[in-house]
Amino acid sequence: MARLEVTIGSMLLRNPVMTASGTFGYGTEYTDFMDLGRLGGIFVKGTTLEPRQGNDYPRMAETPSGMLNAVGLHNKGVDYFVEQIYPVIKDYDTRMIVNVSGSTVEDYVACTEKLVGLEKIPAIELNISCPNVKEGGMAFGTTCASAAQVTRAVRRVYPGTLIVKLSPNVTDIAEIARSVEAEGADSVSLVNTFLGMAIDAESRRPKLSTVTGGLSGPCIKPIALRMVWQVFHAVNIPVIGMGGICNWEDAIEFILAGATAIQVGTCNFIDPSVSVKIVEGIEAYLQRHNIASVTDLVGAMETA
Amino acid sequence: MKQLDFTVRSNDKLNDQNHLLKVVPSDNEQLPEMLPGQFVQILVENAQHTFLRRPISINNIVPERNEIWLLVQSVGEGTQKLCEMAVGGRLNMLVPLGNSFTIPSNPGSYLLVGGGVGTAPLLFLGKKLHERGIACDFLLGGASEKNILQRSDFTAYGTLYCTTEDGSLGEKGYVTHHPVLQHKKYDFIFTCGPKPMMVAVARYAHERGIVCEASLENLMACGFGACLCCVEKTTRGNLCACTEGPVFDINELTWLD
């Protein structure tokens, strides 16, 4: 029996397949379709200090092999999460990780402080890469100095596993990864969405209320894969890969490129049980190739 | 909610753009309970530029045949592929999704107003009202006669009034111009169709204090509340049309502000 367990920071996962923030709600939305206990973990939707109504409609445009979104961190705030959501999800038989967003460093710190001590939240993911809010978000993830600043500030108050979600909308993602590693991040997750846009040719108007939005889905996979590979060779902390993963072959590609674990995102919308199928596919692959542990595959792409 | 494979039992072309698909669960599984106003999300396969599922209203449920009717309008590659489905073909669907029209328990007079493919959920609603012994009027609008679909199905459950923009069937003009709106008094109005039509209907109902619900067709990705893309601005903030809708009380919407 092949071993599927992987470790991110101090967090042991039963398998490397997790679901990406913003695509899986709080997990409750998917319980009709799958057994959440089959997953390595769930990254819950982006959580901010104050409630946010998000952006105006329309927030979505379909693209070839992908979609643009401009949700804009629509959520009910961290207090609502702690009081109303946590009591429901704390008993899920999987790792629950909160994605934290903010407009200022102080926001990130204050939001994180409210999550410290929640026994069933072993990790947080700092979202310094959301392209859909006017302030903060991606702005923190586009320079080494600001990425380091917010990581350092949160690291001071958060003792659990700290994952930093990186933006692909930069010149050199590896240097951003190194900057957050230097400030104590336990892991980096990448990539968030690519900044894109779509126009209705008939009306000559943008398809999104915000004009630009975040591109995700299989169309971004080759670029995301390349970035995971670059970052894997730039840091010594585990990399969590994501970007258009829709089946077990995609997941194996990311692991071979250097991802210790992966997140399934947009494809959850098309097949709500796809992440469980990916777990099964990885397990079958390991057995078929006589590989003892999935960790043996991490970064094992052969180029010679 | 369930994710099930369905088999196409029949596919009838109703006009240049619209097809009526009748589908049954492929493994003979009993259909879950479905309510008028709810919808399904259909996976479109072998379509080069179609990535997301397609939300389609439930047009009718025939329990004795374990059958769902889906009225599909071909407006792009995805819906075109659905219209081309062969009998015996397979469709993966999420069923059922969304809330439903509210069927009040008190007696009253009912008007169901639809335009274009938005007439689809009103047939199922009319059938449910009919099963409860409630007679209703249907007021359907379209560009011309060929766009007023399923007329014989509607007349089985109530009185049908029509408007067409070219005057080829019923009254000439839009649904809100139909004289029945002046001559009869309604207690409940349910509407689905193009937004300008629904806004006009909502205004008519609001001015007369008539209870009115509208079914929205906002763009969505998942259909079950995970993506938060299909939000509608309401008096309770931005709500998802897929889970808190697609049916809303018009007084909750901000259309008339």
Convert the pLDDT of each residue in B70-102 to its tens digit. 999 999 999 999 999 999 999 999 999 999 999
**CB-based contact (8 Å) between B235 and chain A?**
no
Percent of chain A with pLDDT over 70: 97
User: What was the pLDDT predicted at B153?
Assistant: 97
For residue B52, what is the nearest residue in chain A, using CA coordinates?
Answer: A270
Q: Is the pLDDT of residue A131 over 70?
A: no
Q: Are B198 and A14 in contact (CB under 8 A)?
A: no
B256: tokens are: 């008339």
Nearest to A301 by CA among A234, A219, A233: A233
Q: Is the pLDDT of residue A82 over 80?
A: yes
**CB-based contact (8 Å) between B225 and chain A?**
yes
Nearest to A29 among B3, B218, B225 (CB): B225
Chain A residues with CB inside 8 Å of B53's CB?
A: 269-270
Q: State the best of B228, B240, B244 to mutate against chain A, taking most chain A CBs within 10 Å.
A: B228
Cβ distance A269 to B226 less than 8 Å, yes or no, reads yes
User: What was the pLDDT predicted at B145?
Assistant: 95
The alpha carbons of chain A give a radius of gyration, in whole angstroms, of: 18
Chain A residues with CB inside 8 Å of B52's CB?
A: 62, 67, 269-270
| Sequence-distant contacts of A138-142: CB under 8 A, at least 24 apart | A138/A167, A138/A169, A138/A192, A138/A195, A141/A165, A141/A166, A141/A167, A141/A169, A141/A170, A141/A176, A141/A192, A142/A167, A142/A169, A142/A170, A142/A176
* Sign of the torsion formed by the C-alpha atoms of B67, B72, B77 and B81: positive
Checking phi first, is residue A106 left (phi over 0); if not, alpha (psi -120 to 50) or beta? alpha
Nearest to B221 among A45, A218, A269 (CB): A269
Chain B residues with CB inside 8 Å of A64's CB?
A: 48-49, 51
Q: What is the DSSP letter of B64?
A: G
CB atoms under 10 Å from CB of A9, counted, come to 16
Cα A299 to Cα A173, A176, A180, A231, A276, distances in angstroms: 18, 20, 21, 11, 23
Cβ distance B218 to A53 less than 8 Å, yes or no, reads no
Q: State the best of B43, B231, B242, B243 to mutate against chain A, taking most chain A CBs within 10 Å.
A: B231
Distance (Å, rounded) from C-alpha A169 to C-alpha A166?
9
User: What was the pLDDT predicted at B256?
Assistant: 85
Q: Give the number of residues written for chain B.
A: 257
Distance (Å, rounded) from C-alpha B125 to C-alpha B133?
13
Residues of chain B with pLDDT under 70: none
Cβ distance A64 to B48 less than 8 Å, yes or no, reads yes
Q: Is the pLDDT of residue A132 over 70?
A: no
Nearest to A24 among B48, B226, B231 (CB): B226
A67: tokens are: 């979609």
Q: Is the pLDDT of residue A138 over 80?
A: no
Nearest to A35 by CA among A281, A246, A273, A284: A273
Nearest to B3 among A61, A74, A272 (CB): A272
Nearest to B74 by CA among B20, B141, B6, B153: B20
* Sign of the torsion formed by the C-alpha atoms of B246, B97, A30 and B6: negative
Please count the CA atoms within 13 angstroms of the CA of B105 that sit on its side-chain side. Answer: 0
The model carries a pTM of 0.95
Cβ distance B221 to A272 less than 8 Å, yes or no, reads no
Strands (E), A140-204: 161-165, 187-190, 194-197, 199-200
Residue B142 CA, chain-centre distance (Å), reads 14
Give tens-digit pLDDT for A238-253.
999 999 999 999 999 9
**CB-based contact (8 Å) between A77 and chain B?**
no
| A129 band by pLDDT with thresholds 50, 70 and 90 | confident
Give tens-digit pLDDT for A24-44.
999 999 999 999 999 999 999
Distance (Å, rounded) from C-alpha A74 to C-alpha A53?
5
ipTM above 0.90, yes or no: yes
Nearest to B49 by CA among B73, B17, B81: B81
User: What was the pLDDT predicted at B135?
Assistant: 86
Q: Is the pLDDT of residue A159 over 80?
A: yes
A130 is catalytic: yes
Mean pLDDT of chain A: 95
Nearest to A62 among B52, B224, B232 (CB): B52
Of the candidates A111, A130, A219, A246, the residue annotated as catalytic is A130
> Could you say which residues from 234 to 293 on chain A have a Cβ atom under 8 Å away from some Cβ of chain B?
266, 268-273
Distance in Å, alpha carbon of A12 to nearest chain B alpha carbon:
26
Nearest to A167 by CA among A143, A183, A202, A197: A143
Q: Is the pLDDT of residue A135 over 60?
A: no
**CB-based contact (8 Å) between B205 and chain A?**
no
Report which of residues B155 and A135 the model is more confident about: B155
**Residue B201 exposed, middle or buried by CB count within 10 Å (0-12, 13-18, 19+):** buried
DSSP-based three-state secondary structure for B28: coil
B137: tokens are: 């009027």
Q: Locate tokens 């469980």: which residue?
A: A276
A111: tokens are: 């939001």
Nearest to A122 by CA among A48, A12, A264: A12
> Per-residue pLDDT averaged across A200-227, rounded?
97
